Amino acid sequence: MSDIDALTTEDRKIITLARSARARNAVPEGAAVRDETGRTYVAGTVDLPSLALSALRTAVAMAVASGATSLEAAAVVTDAEAVPDEDRAAVRDLGGAGTPVLLAGPDGTLRATVTAG
């Protein structure tokens, strides 16, 4: 069984949503987070002259702006080999140190699962 097969249906869903956001918007990263009620928030990288945010920080900001009070999980689809500390910190701020962060490649293959902590 592969790592992706070991994931819950809901975790596979946020990886798929993140992958779709990355492809649809032709951005370096796509991300999705799931809040305490099961709602999902999906975002891509923001790269403007006056504002630069990773996809994961953007997804967390969207969750906060929509009234989420906690996170169950987060996923990011990227070419990067690791989730930056700043991104994990944003997830930790809303979801806590134990919140899982799924790191997947552009093809949706799970590379790692880390915690926000």
The structure's pTM equals 0.93
Are 115 and 9 in contact by the 8 Å Cβ rule? The answer is no
Model confidence at 1: pLDDT above 50? no
Q: What is the pLDDT of residues 18-61, one digit of tens each?
A: 999 999 999 999 999 999 999 999 999 999 999 999 999 999 99
Model confidence at 15: pLDDT above 70? yes
Q: What is the pLDDT of residues 75-94, one digit of tens each?
A: 999 999 999 999 999 999 99
Using pLDDT thresholds of 50, 70 and 90, give the confidence band for residue 6: confident
Model confidence at 2: pLDDT above 80? no
